[in-house]
Amino acid sequence: MWTSEGFPGSQHVPWQLLIRARYLQEIDAVIAASIIDQVARFASERATERLVLEADKVVREGGGTEASREQVFAALAAAADYDERCGSYPHHVVPIHFGPSSPMVGIVAEHALAFVRAGGSSTLQEAFGGVLAEGGRLEAA
């Protein structure tokens, strides 16, 4: 069994949930939660709330479509890539907020959009990805 010490990045992406995912909505929920956790560190409350509402809508209306092994593996690969690029960002007890001109806004949004496109369902890509596509306008706090 993997432990957080023997599996790099396990503290940032809920790998166990992705590994055990049986339905697309479970994969979408993990992807959206991982992205929202990062975006909430620099985006305004309004922008974060938009992402949360879109993710909630997609997951609730996701139905019971079973995920294929290929979809689970794609989500795992996308999560590993996203964690490598954005997950190593230091997690502090008090969130760090960047200024509106910070390059972090565009960088994290760009990688988050790539994560959604590589691992998420088509519904998540349309709705949640649509909000992320506005990337640079996530209104940094």
pLDDT at 97: 56
More confident residue, 19 or 53: 53
pLDDT at 12: 53
pLDDT at 93: 42
Q: What are the DSSP calls for 51-65, one per residue? A: HHHHHHHHHHT-TTP
5 within domain boundaries = no
Q: Is 13 exposed, middle or buried (0-12, 13-18, 19+ CB in 10 A)?
A: buried
1 within domain boundaries = no
The answer for residues whose C-beta is within 8 angstroms of residue 6's C-beta and 6 or more apart is none
35 within domain boundaries = yes
When divided into structural domains, the chain yields a total of: 1
Show the domain range for 88. 15-137
85 within domain boundaries = yes
Q: What is the pLDDT of residues 28-75, one digit of tens each?
A: 988 998 888 887 777 778 888 888 999 999 888 877 889 898 998 899
Say yes or no to pLDDT of 80 above 60.
yes
Going by pLDDT thresholds of 50, 70 and 90, the confidence category of residue 117 is very high
8 within domain boundaries = no
36 within domain boundaries = yes
6 within domain boundaries = no
4 within domain boundaries = no
Q: What is the pLDDT of residues 119-134, one digit of tens each?
A: 999 999 998 888 887 7
Going by pLDDT thresholds of 50, 70 and 90, the confidence category of residue 23 is confident
